[in-house]
Chains A and B, each alone.
Chain A
Amino acid sequence: MATVAEIRVHQGRRSEVALLAIAVMIAVLARGLVDYHADVLELRDLGLYALTAVALATTAHLVLRRYAPSADTVLLPAVFALNGIGIAMIRRIDFAYAERGRDTTFGNVQIGWAILGIALMIGVILLVRDHRVLRRYTYTAGLVGLIGLLLPLFPVIGTEINGARIWIHLFGRSLQPAEFAKIALVIFFAGYLVTNRDTLALAGPKILGIRFPRPRDMGPLVLVWLASMLVQIYERDLGTSLLFFGIFLSMLYVATERLSWVIVGLGMFVAGAAFAGTVFAHVHSRYEAWLHALDPAVYASGASEQLVRGLFGMASGGLLGTGLGEGRPDLVPYAESDFIISSLGEELGLTGLMAILTLYVIIVQRAMRTAIGVRDGFGKLLAVGLGFSLALQVFIVVGGVTRVIPLTGLTTPFLAYGGSSMLANWMVVGLLLRISDQARRPSQVVT
């Protein structure tokens, strides 16, 4: 006679509470420091802020406890901490702008986005009770992703900001649909790859010792991917196209375990990048700004000015930073968004930057752990895709600011000012939590 016995294992929700408490403390103390240095410290305001943070953390925690009890316990606190640091830094930059007569309320707006983001994350947890459901919407997701990417090109709602046509105007707010398209396309890739991985990997002609997939298996995948790349190149959104390319390649590799394809793909990318550098003036100037950033001529032309100003900021921070509120992050254009990493590097120093990067490593490694733990292939690919998308996004933007790679416009997840990125990345967290619940749920043992 078979009975199903539930084995209670340690789910770690209590340690999540402890970690969340630390994250909330970081957020509140950071804001306190910022207010103190700007001479606007009001204990009542800070108390209200602390209360809001505690309420949000508690709500998120309780929702997880009830609806995803086995979900990863480190993910939420790590993201909370990043959010707290980001909001404090953006608020600090508001004060710096105010000193120069520019009135901005980025900090307060960002708090609103964070609250919305957490709500969205909770929504994802509540709505998607089982991530496998998403597999049914594979092609829908692909279509949604493509349409999302195309939206900025439509006349009325699409707008061009700073030379990139990646924004749509909706309800008086600007949104970057690419951030959301990223999730949709990861779902599409995961769904398609899990269905076709065997035919992709095993059937097909062999060229130069490498087996290539049959065109009809590869077709839809390449079509969607090429379309998204072309759209982004047309929109001059180099960062996002690089991001999508990376996500596609990593998921293809995990699905098929074909390293040779990755090498071919990277080779194609390098060739494409070199080609773009010689053909497109705006790509070429990016390379120039990257390789010869400090060259007086390049600097004077304005191509590398923002990058170099960011370097100056980080250099002045040195090992330990100037201290929150003590530097001059406002000297770098877009200190609150694209260059928030250099702002943080300046005021928190290399030490702070290392801590922040480590938080990202933790988040991404938890996603990878989830992928390994979850039993279904779709879940694995989804977790890998989402996790790698975070990692690559951080790499592209931080690498651009630190001159590891050419600078391209992307937002730093959870830190940079901007609603689209905040909402989309909280949705990613929601999905990862949902998959991890599945991955860590104790198996029902048949005795």
Chain B
Amino acid sequence: MNEPVRRLSVVILVMFLVLMAGASYIQVITANDLNADGRNVRTLYREFGSFRGPFVVDGETVVKSVPVDDPFNYQRTYADGPLYAAATGYYSIVYGRSGLEQTENTLLNGSDDALFWNRLGDLFAGREQEGASVSITLDSTLQQVATEQLGDQRGAVVALDPTTGAILAMVTSPTYDPAALAGHNTEQVNENYQELLNDPTGPLVNRAIAGDTYPPGSVFKLVVSAAALESGYKPDTEVYAPQELDLPGTSATMTNYGGEKCTSGDTMTLADALRVSCNTAYANLGMSLGWGVIERKAKEFGWTDQIDIPLRAAASNLPVDPNEAQTAMASIGQYDDRATPLQMAMVASAIANQGTLLNPYLVDTVRAPDLSVIQKTEPTEYGQPMTRADASKLRDMMVGVVDNGTGTRAQIPGVKVAGKTGTAETGTDAPPHTWFVGFAPADKPTIAIAVLVENGGDLGAAGKDPTGGVVAAPIAKAVMEAKLAEDGDL
């Protein structure tokens, strides 16, 4: 019976070799994939064991990790959580990370290559690994004002410094408190998350950059104007502006807001057409320019491009190969045109900055635990969608909108404000989305802004006819005013 015993021993040896191979496969070959798996909370737990760097706004720490006496060692705390949620995102043991907590994760937890020497020092000194602090470009006052102005209305505000691209305000409404998801009580966090998720108003959605993109409506006329100026039009060029415009190839006609006439005659200047936001004029202008020209211009402003600020902003959409009637609709920001509030703020910013568009960014400086600066965002150019001359012409046209057009409610005494209103049909029975895009002071802009209020906000809900000039313009005005007051320009 010895021979079969020997053979069995070999079989047993093979069995154990298979086990060893199995263990090696898991622990060496697929280890990286398993460690990176989103369902693997271990990585998160390991991070909770070390000090995570804070977020700083205006020199104040708004998000920090404080030591607690539980297995996670540190509790992430959010001062003014809802105010900065759109930028910071959350840091949850159950749901992982979002926002800057996600994009700046390696810096915050200290594992980034930029922190290599700090880590080495910590190792030798026997200190715990510490993360870097991330200072955000947001301006707390503007953030506050924009939040108050939006109130309970659904919408978003994005304000940029047109000369640098720094994001001064990014507000989405309604929002949430990241603290509700940062707790260490899994059950409570689950419950809070489900509540946010099931909330029909979508508080977890960042409407400023990554919510549903919105039809831009008349604010898109800025892009068409830029294309027209480039094609040789001047602000005083007379354009065809009938009361009703036949849409080629269809039996439909296009009218202006409320069916009004834009002008007593059949033509008006381009500047006037923008000032009163004349739909028929721009639809006709778009058809005569051709969609290709408008499309190229829109892309220069950022449409169809995915922009990381470093949060991933949804790409704004343009129609593909529209026919003439569709081109007419798209020229007034309807049909398949879609934009994020960030995109519209970028349009304002480019016009404000003499035609040069800078990349928008949220992270200002990153400091190592010893406060040495390890990263500082330098303004970079996204592109040059307009010439300096065209930009100043369009700026003057936009000043006309606020001085004596649809955007008068954005006027700030003593300061020239440039702007454009938008009232975009949603394609449903719901009230239109209301927009305001602008910048101030017009001759030396320090802030470019886009305001979106979904479905006309309170006014829309009350059954009144909301317009961008009535609903969105005052919000933009308040934010711009706050910025000007801060700079001593008032």
When A328-B45, A368-B8 are in contact, do A350 and B15 touch as well, CB less than 8 Å? no
Interface range, A side:
35 or more
A365: Cβ under 8 A from any B Cβ: yes
Q: Is B376 an interface residue (CB 8 A)?
A: no
Q: Please determine whether A404 and B1 come into contact, CB atoms closer than 8 angstroms.
A: no
In B210-231, the 8 Å CB interface with A consists of: none
Tell me if B13 counts as interface (CB < 8 A to partner A): yes
- Residues 13-50 of chain B: 1 if any A CB is under 8 Å from the residue's CB, otherwise 0? 10110111011111110111111010111110110000
Q: Is B4 an interface residue when CB atoms closer than 8 A count as contact?
A: yes
Q: Are A380 and B1 in contact (CB under 8 A)?
A: yes
Beyond A361-B13, A402-B19, A404-B22, whether A316 also contacts B35 by CB under 8 A is yes
Q: Are A354 and B39 in contact (CB under 8 A)?
A: no
**B12 contacts partner chain A, Cβ-Cβ < 8 Å:** yes
Known: A349-B27, A365-B12, A388-B12. A312 touches B40 (CB 8 A): yes
B2 at the interface (CB under 8 A from A): yes
User: Which residue in chain A gives the minimum CB-CB distance to B34?
Assistant: A315
A82–B301 CA distance with the chains assembled, in angstroms: 68
Residues 39-73 of A contacting B (Cβ, < 8 Å): none
Measured CA separation A314–B27 after assembly (Å): 6
B5 at the interface (CB under 8 A from A): yes
* SS of B interface (majority): helix
Query: How many angstroms between the C-alpha atoms of A403 and B32 in the bound complex?
Result: 17
Contact B8 A254 (CB under 8 A): yes
In the complex, chain B residues whose CB is within 8 Å of the CB of A357? 16, 19-20, 23
A255 within 8 A of B: yes
B1 interface neighbour in A257, A315, A354, A365, Cβ under 8 Å: A257
Judge whether B9 and A319 touch: CB under 8 Å: no
Query: Is A384 among interface residues, defined by CB-CB distance under 8 A?
Result: yes
Chain B interface size range:
35 or more
Q: How far is the CA of A207 from the CA of B2 in the complex (A)?
A: 27
- Is there a chain B Cβ closer than 8 Å to A353's Cβ? yes
- Most interface-central of A315, A368, A391, A392 (chain B CB within 10 A): A315
Query: A404, B19: Cβ atoms under 8 Å?
Result: yes
Are A388 and B30 also in contact (CB < 8 A) when A354-B23, A361-B16, A395-B15 are? Answer: no
Q: What 0/1 readout, one digit per residue, does chain A (289-300) give for beta carbons within 8 Å of chain B?
A: 000001000010
Across-interface contacts of A399 in B (CB, < 8 A)? 18-19, 22
Digitize A347-382: 1 where CB-to-B-CB distance is under 8 Å, 0 elsewhere.
001100110010011001100100110000100110
Q: Across the interface, do A312 and B37 meet the contact criterion of CB distance under 8 Å?
A: yes
B71 is an interface residue with CB less than 8 A from chain A: yes
Measured CB to CB, the closest approach of chain A to B155, in angstroms, equals 34
Which B residues lie within 8 Å of A250 (CB)?
8
B168-209 contacts to A, CB under 8 A, are none
The answer to the question of B6 belonging to the interface, with a C-beta cut-off of 8 Å to chain A, is: yes
Q: A319-B28, A357-B16 are in contact. Are A314 and B42 (CB under 8 A)?
A: no
> Measured between C-beta atoms, what is the minimum distance from B135 to chain A in Å?
32
Residue of A nearest to B72 (CB): A99
Measured between beta carbons, the chain A residues less than 8 angstroms from B26 are 311, 314-315, 345, 402-403
Contact B6 A372 (CB under 8 A): yes
Tell yes or no: A331 within 8 A of B by CB. yes
Per a CB cutoff under 8 Å, which of B4, B15, B22, B34 touches A253? B4
Give the contacting residue for B45; candidates A331, A380, A394; CB below 8 A. Answer: A331
Is the beta-carbon distance between A380 and B31 smaller than 8 angstroms?
no
Q: Give which listed residue, B1, B6, B43, contacts A377 with CB less than 8 A.
A: B1
Q: Residues of B contacting A345 with CB < 8 Å?
A: 23, 26-27
A403 to B19, CA, bound (A): 9
A residues within 8 A CB of B28?
318-319, 350
Q: Does B3 touch A at the CB level, under 8 Å? A: yes
The chain A residue with its CB closest to the CB of B6 is: A372
Query: What is the chain A residue whose CB lies nearest that of B43?
Result: A316
A384/B5 in contact, CB under 8 A? yes
- Cβ of A99 and Cβ of B71 under 8 Å apart? yes
Q: Which residues of A contact B9 (CB under 8 A)?
A: 365, 368
Interface check A418, CB cutoff 8 A = no
Is the Cβ of B27 less than 8 Å from the Cβ of A299?
no
Which residues of A are found within 8 Å of B16, using beta-carbon distances?
357, 360-361, 391, 394-395
The verdict on A254 contacting B22 (CB below 8 Å), with A317-B27, A361-B16 known, is no
What A residues does B20 contact at CB under 8 A? 353-354, 357
Q: Is A34 an interface residue (CB 8 A)?
A: no
Residues of the B chain whose Cβ atoms lie less than 8 Å from the Cβ of A318: 27-28, 31
Q: Mark B119-155, 1 if CB is under 8 A from A, else 0.
A: 0000000000000000000000000000000000000
Q: Which B residues are in CB contact (< 8 Å) with A314?
A: 23, 26-27
Question: Considering only CB atoms, which chain B residue lies closest to A403 in the complex?
Answer: B22
Decide yes or no whether A142 CB sits under 8 A from chain B.
no
Residue interface mask A103-136, B partner, CB < 8 A = 1: 0000000000000000000000000000000000
CA distance A354 to B22 in the complex (A): 11
**Contact among B4, B6, B18, B23 with A350 in the assembled complex (CB-CB below 8 Å):** B23
Rounded to whole angstroms, the CA-CA distance of A404 and B17 in the bound complex is: 11
Q: How far is the CB of A294 from chain B (nearest CB, A)?
A: 7
A295 CB, nearest partner CB in chain B, Å: 11
Tell yes or no: A79 within 8 A of B by CB: no
Q: How far is the CA of A392 from the CA of B13 in the complex (A)?
A: 11
Q: Which of A310-359 contact B (CB under 8 A)?
A: 311-319, 328, 331, 345, 349-350, 353-354, 357
How far, in Å, is B186 (CB) from chain A's closest CB?
10
A315–B71 CB distance below 8 A: no
A308 near B: Cβ within 8 Å? yes
Known: A100-B71, A361-B13, A399-B22. A388 touches B8 (CB 8 A): yes
Q: Nearest chain-A residue to B35 (Cβ)? A: A315
Q: In the complex the two chains form, what is the Cα distance from A257 to B40 in whole Å?
A: 48
- A380-417 interface code vs B (CB 8 A; 1 in, 0 out): 11001001100110110011001110000000000000
CA gap between A314 and B19 in the complex, in Å: 14
Q: Is the CB of B34 within 8 A of A311?
A: yes
Closest CB in chain A relative to B222 CB, distance in Å: 44
CA gap between A350 and B27 in the complex, in Å:
6
5 pairs of residues in contact across A and B, judged by CB atoms under 8 Å: A315-B26, A315-B27, A316-B42, A319-B28, A394-B19
Going nearest first, the 6 A-B pairs with the smallest beta carbon separation are A315-B34, A402-B22, A350-B27, A404-B22, A315-B31, A368-B9
Given contact pairs A315-B34, A354-B20, enumerate 9 new A-B contacts (beta carbons under 8 Å).
A254-B1, A314-B23, A315-B26, A368-B5, A368-B12, A371-B5, A391-B12, A391-B16, A402-B25
Q: Which residues of A contact B (CB under 8 A)?
A: 99-100, 250, 253-255, 257, 294, 299, 308, 311-319, 328, 331, 345, 349-350, 353-354, 357, 360-361, 364-365, 368, 371-372, 377, 380-381, 384, 387-388, 391-392, 394-395, 398-399, 402-404
